Structure 1
Amino acid sequence: MSELLNVMAASMQADMNRVNTVAHNIANSNTAGYKRLFTLGGDIQTGALADARQGAMNRTGSNLDLAIEGPGYFSALDNGGAYVSRGGGLRLDSRGRLVLAQSGMPLEGEQGEIFLQPGAFRVADDGQVFQKELAVARIKLVYPAKDARLEAAGNGLYRVSGAMADPKDLGGPGRLRQGFLEMSNVNSTREMVELMEATRHFESVQKAVQGMDAVWDKALRSLGEF
């Protein structure tokens, strides 16, 4: 009896994790570069991973907005930690570094951090950054392998568990499009359906637990009569 209750409790916890994940997806359905999170497993589900499929391109016209068309991720470094992102909203910080607007982490170039002078700049589709028609840096893209896991780290960032791949093996390299942002790949209708399914499953298991508890309580009372 106790083992069955433990299994049911674990299943209910998995449903709660699933509900929280879906709610997070819905809340970020309009966040640029956001990748839908999902959970693995059957009844006993594990941590949330990211769905790497590309979202729609939205033209903004801002030279501080970049989108990656095709495979690849922007690379960001913070105190030695490596992260990747598809959110290409950028800004210049107080030091003149090109940083990801959402997290404030410096965007990594082929030669390290990218420093720019105030004023306009242009980004070619291969990542070359130009100011006054002089090449000053090149934005680095990284390519997690198909079997690599992307774990959400907040602020549009992901940690990669697994190897990197040759972009040619992924149909790449990716091309940068300045003046565009990649939108979230969340389908709100699909998420609402999944939310209802998880909620109904949680409620059904909860009723089963309550029924077992009632049977157990009745059995104990019956024993007490002898």
Structure 2
Amino acid sequence: MLRGFYNAASGMAAQQRKTDMLNNNIANANTPGYKSDQSAIRTFPEQLLHAENAGRGPRTIGALGTGVYMQDQAPSFTPGELQETNAPADAALLQAEVPDENGAVLFMVQGEEGTAYTRNGNWTVDAEGFLTTADGQYILNNEGAPVETGNESFQITGNGTVLLENGGEAGQLGVAYAPDTNDLVKTEAGMFEAEEELGAAADNENIRYQIKQGFLEQSNTDSTQAMTELMEAYRMFESNQKVMQTYDRSMEKAVNEVGRLG
């Protein structure tokens, strides 16, 4: 009886984690460059039960389930739709070709503990003339230094070179390449971190990308699909909850009856 109780509890925990993930995806459906998290519910290894069969060896009874769990969530890097904003500080990163199946290109940003990475190109120019995120973090060039426009008008070319109105350049926007996006860790701010610094995409001849000024890549969250999955997760959670309540009543009844027999 306790085994069934634990199975139902593991089901509730898995669906709760999935619910949290889906709620976060839906909350960021309008966040530029947001990459929705994906996961799946898996079962723990089953146990094969046998019964003793005198003189003829064990007799197979069947498999015994041991509960479920949710796999570690990972971001999906399918591209979001482009939205034209005409804002000069906005930039969208278009990935044309990468050498690895799970590879992706990302903008480089000055994070709290080193370089962070993002596809969110919703930027601004601060009072000192530096290109920053909406939260004030510096946008980096390919050399890892903050991009400084000097409060001049500027243009961003297809390869990310920042051309200033006075004829000068502010460097090339830093674009890093992640060979396997499953190795990236998403931060609370929606950016990504890597265990080791990622290499510059411009240094790899097998990578092709384009940057479009005045555009933003939208979130790749499918809100309709996410809401459907969320309702399914709620129903599964409630089903497991009812199973636990049934086990609880059965255990209470068993305890009371044993008490009367004593």
**TM-score, normalization by structure 2:** 0.78
Q: Which aligned runs of 4 or more in structure 1 are off by greater than 4 angstroms?
A: 161-171
Q: Which residue of 2 aligns with 1:88?
A: 121
Q: Which residue of 1 aligns with 2:159?
A: 126
2:139 to 81, 98, 107: 107
Alpha-carbon distance in 2 for matches of 1:170, 1:199: 47
Alignment of 1:18-97 (within 5 A): 18-42=18-42, 43-70=68-95, 71-97=104-130
Q: Helix, strand or coil for the counterpart of 2:178?
A: coil
Q: Which residue of 1 aligns with 2:57?
A: none
Alpha-carbon distance in 1 for matches of 2:3, 2:200: 47
Alpha-carbon distance in 2 for matches of 1:75, 1:49: 20
1:188 to 219, 223, 230: 223
Alpha-carbon distance in 2 for matches of 1:147, 1:119: 35
Tell me if structure 2 keeps the 8 A contact 1:34–1:87. yes
Alpha-carbon distance in 2 for matches of 1:170, 1:138: 16
Tell me if structure 2 keeps the 8 A contact 1:33–1:86. yes
Could you say if the C-alpha distance between residues 197 and 6 of structure 1 is closer, same or farther in structure 2, counting changes exceeding 3 Å?
same
Mean alpha-carbon deviation: is it higher for 154-163 or for 74-83?
A: 154-163
Alignment of 1:196-211 (within 5 A): 196-211=231-246
- In structure 2, runs of 5+ residues without a counterpart are 43-67, 96-103
Q: Aligned-pair distance for 1:95?
A: 2.9
Could you tell me which amino acid in structure 2 is paired with residue 61 of structure 1? N
Mean alpha-carbon deviation: is it higher for 169-178 or for 29-38?
A: 169-178
Q: Deviations over 1:173-202 (max 9, x none)?
A: 321000100001011110011001111111
Q: Which residue of 2 aligns with 1:214?
A: 249
Q: Aligned-pair distance for 1:166?
A: 8.1
Q: Which residue of 2 aligns with 1:11?
A: 11
Could you say if the C-alpha distance between residues 163 and 181 of structure 1 is closer, same or farther in structure 2, counting changes exceeding 3 Å?
same
Alpha-carbon distance in 1 for matches of 2:13, 2:128: 46
Could you say if the C-alpha distance between residues 80 and 163 of structure 1 is closer, same or farther in structure 2, counting changes exceeding 3 Å?
closer
Q: How many residue pairs were aligned?
A: 225
Alpha-carbon distance in 1 for matches of 2:243, 2:205: 47
RMSD: 2.4
Q: Helix, strand or coil for the counterpart of 1:74?
A: strand
- In structure 1, runs of 5+ residues without a counterpart are none
Q: Deviations over 1:35-91 (max 9, x none)?
A: 112235523125532111110111111111100011410111224333111000111
Q: Deviations over 1:100-139 (max 9, x none)?
A: 12x3211111231111111210111111111023222111
Could you tell me which amino acid in structure 1 is paired with residue 89 of structure 2? L
Q: Compare CA radii of gyration and give the structure with the larger one.
A: 2
Tell me if structure 1 keeps the 8 A contact 2:81–2:218. yes
Alpha-carbon distance in 2 for matches of 1:162, 1:78: 14
Tell me if structure 1 keeps the 8 A contact 2:177–2:198. yes
Could you tell me which amino acid in structure 1 is paired with residue 141 of structure 2? G
**TM-score, normalization by structure 1:** 0.89
